[in-house]
Amino acid sequence: MVAGALVLTLAACGGGGDDKAGPGDGKDERATQQGKQSTAAVSIAPKSGARDVDTSGALKVAVAQGKLTEVTVKDAKGAKIDGTISGGGASWTPSTHLAAGTKYTVHAVAKDSEGRAAAEDSSFTTLTPKNTFTGSFTPEDGSTVGVGMPFSIRFTRGITSPDAVEKAIRIKTEPAVDVEGHWFGNDRLDFRPEHYWKSGTKVTVDLNLDGVEGRDGVYGEQHKTVKFTIGRDQVSFVDAKKHTMKVTQDGKVVKTIPVTTGKPGYETWNGQMVMSEKLAVTRMNGETVGYGGEYDIKDVPHAIRLTTSGTFIHGNYWGGGAFGNYNASHGCVGLRDVRGGYDKGVPAAWFFNHSIVGDVVVVKKSHDRTVDPANGLNGWNMSWADWKK
């Protein structure tokens, strides 16, 4: 009897194990499920191995029956291209254009609804353009400039896709300030804040034009980083009626200088004018500005350019008693000087030595109109609303 009971007990134990560990317990099913391939299907355009790929709009990553979790695009040097996953994980697009004549690799990962990953890799090469454009810019990298200096770039070809070009130029400042661009025609783009820069501001420009299609079939070929610093705050105010100029630093008058401005018929423009060039000595010939042979002075000292068309604030050794008394120039602002510019004590020498490119000269109470904002680096003569249009 005892032996029989023992057999029954063992049998009972065996029967219980079958109920709990049989094929219907789910373990084998889960193992089979985990071994299945992901249903997520990743697609990359352009196809792998493609050549002459356009630098904008061609690169796209998408997934069916899943969500993208990772997309990495690198050039041959390992530099990554930023991008954005959108559509709830359905697609990825780059946030910038690609460089021309460059090989890129793409690695994309997606997961299906069960969390199983699928990956896809690809590589392609962008087009090498037959026609290109570049931009010459001011100020130069590493320079220290005045509070009125915009970042100005002039292109070698007329731009018909201004949004694409402007998007490729990114400006960061310390401290942060809103900086906006404005086009003068189709070959010049200037950037500035609403008000003059604050002294000490550090500006970094990422000029990423390589691969930007500025006009049909014409691509940029530059990628440079330009850094400049805003120096002390100097703004000078010329009163054409009183024949004086007040030089201010940080809003305080540091020197008042007698000047002469444009005589009747040759009045100096009113407005805010930014110093764009300093010349210790230069030649000024009336022929170059439409004044025929009225003057030709081969050794004008201490000359600082205010407009592209030829307005300067400069030393004047021939003006006699005009300074502080009456207007006698052909449109420039003249300061007393000596021939050869050797005397550091004269007003023109002092002003020249205390000025840097980017400083502002404001002319008021002249009988002429306000200077054209496009004539020199003089966009400050536009309202902020008009600048951003």
**Residues with active-site annotation:** 314, 332
What does the block give as tokens for 350?
Answer: 């002092």
CA distance 122 to 111: 18
Q: At residue 384, what is the residue type?
A: W
HEC profile for the chain? CHHHHHHHHHHHHHHHHHHHHCHHHCHHHHHHHHCCCCCCEEEEECCCCEEEECCCCCCEEEEECCEEEEEEEEECCCCECCEEEECCCCEEEECCCCCCCCEEEEEEEEECCCCCEEEEEEEEEECCCCEEECEEEECCCCCEECCCCCEEEEECCCCCCHHHHHHCEEEEEECCCCEEEEECCCCEEEEEECCCCCCCCEEEEEEECCCCEEECCEEECCEEEEEEEECCCEEEEEECCCCEEEEEECCEEEEEEEEECECCCCCCCEEEEECCEEEEEEEEEHHHHCCCCCCEEEEEEEEEECCCCCCEEEEECCCCCCCCCCCCECCCEEEECCCCCCCCCCHHHHHHHCCCCCCEEEEECCCCCECCCCCCCCHHHCCHHHHHC
CA distance 120 to 108: 5
**Using CB atoms within 10 A of its CB, is residue 332 exposed (0-12), middle (13-18) or buried (19+)?**
buried
The distance of Cα 387 from the centroid of its chain, to the nearest Å, equals 16
Neighbours of 321 (CB within 10 A): 10
Q: Which residues pair with 153 in a beta bridge?
A: 137, 189
